[in-house]
Amino acid sequence: MKQLKIFIDLTRLNKPIGFMLLFWPCSWGLAYAFNYSNDLNIFFYYLILFFLGSVLMRSAGCIINDIVDRNFDKKVKRTKNRPIASGKISVKRSFIYSLFLCLLAFIILIQFNLFTIILGMSSMFLAFSYPYMKRITYWPQLFLGLTFNWGIIMAWVAINNDISSEIILLYISAIFWTLGYDSIYGVQDMTDDEIIGLKSTAIKFKKNIKLFVSMNYFLTSVILLYLFKDQINFNLFLIIFFLFCLSLIYQIKIFNPRKPETCLKAFKLNNLSGLILFLGILSI
């Protein structure tokens, strides 16, 4: 029972916001592709597969991240009690867990076409090099955006077996979304990160962090507006898209860089934002 609790803490399965933020972009790509294929059985089957894949890969990614950051995590108030940093589990055992999770994710991946499998395998480089980005650049959040939203392209390819300019636009809009919400998240660790020498967009733009997040959310909305311009009318999609934009504006309003708890609250609201946009794309 103790080992199970350590495993759950290690993989953050008790904090579903992580794997949901990985899943929602997949769902967007599937919903957009569904508008072209209209195969309901395939849509729901792939939705389940991408959800399971998101849980597994997010869990494996958390372990690798904690292995790489174990010496830094000990010095940060929010992360010092993580299983590896606190010595509750060895690096070797953690790595074995990660390999097992990746194996399960690979079994799910091979259910798709060859193009999707190749894209999925190529994302491994992005996923496992991410933890090093905060050491070398102030833009690890941008790299996370490239990584976390790769599922949009994979989902589209899984159904259509090609890549279109439209799905690339959806991917780019999601990158700005991630750049915004992860900058909000990064505000929580700014003080500790600066002391130990880690970098983030939160630190780079700390004097204008609300403006920076606003710009990213604005770009997300504008790109989506352009992508779905032909679908926008006085219809259900317009209402849902308005709610999506409202959820982003509300995040900007409530988060206060001086109050970490407001940053976490605003960050978690992106689970709702992701769901809203999924329903919006599905309604087209």
Please write the tens of the pLDDT for every residue from 202-244.
999 999 999 999 999 999 999 999 999 988 777 899 999 999 9
List 248's β-bridge partners, or say none: none
Neighbouring CB atoms inside 10 A of 207's CB total 8
Residue 38 has pLDDT above 90, yes or no: no
Give the whole-number percent of the chain exceeding pLDDT 90: 81
Choice between 195 and 264, residue whose per-residue pLDDT is larger: 264
Residue 233: predicted pLDDT: 79
Is 4 buried (19+), middle (13-18) or exposed (0-12) by CB count in 10 A?
Answer: exposed
Per CATH, the number for 2-282 is: 1.10.357.140
What is the rounded average pLDDT for all residues in the chain?
A: 94
- How far apart are the C-alpha atoms of 151 and 7, rounded to whole Å? 25
Q: What's the pTM? A: 0.95
In sequence order, what are the beta bridge partners of 259?
Answer: 256
Phi-psi region of 128 (alpha: psi -120 to 50; beta: other; left: phi over 0): alpha
Check if the beta carbon of residue 189 is closer than 8 Å to that of residue 240.
no
The two three-digit tokens of residue 265, written as one number: 């609250």
pLDDT of amino acid 3:
87
| Residue whose pair of structure tokens reads 């700390």 in the numeric block | 206
What percentage of the chain carries pLDDT values higher than 70?
100
* Confidence category of residue 26, pLDDT binned at 50, 70, 90: very high
Q: What is the pLDDT of residues 123-149, one digit of tens each?
A: 888 888 888 999 999 999 999 999 999
Please name every residue paired with 256 in a beta bridge, in sequence order, or none if there are none: 259
**Mean pLDDT of all residues in 66-73:** 90
The whole-number pLDDT of residue 171 equals 98
In the chain, what's the furthest Cα-to-Cα distance? 57
* Domain range annotation of the chain: 2-282
Q: pLDDT digits over 87-111, tens only?
A: 999 999 999 999 999 999 999 999 9
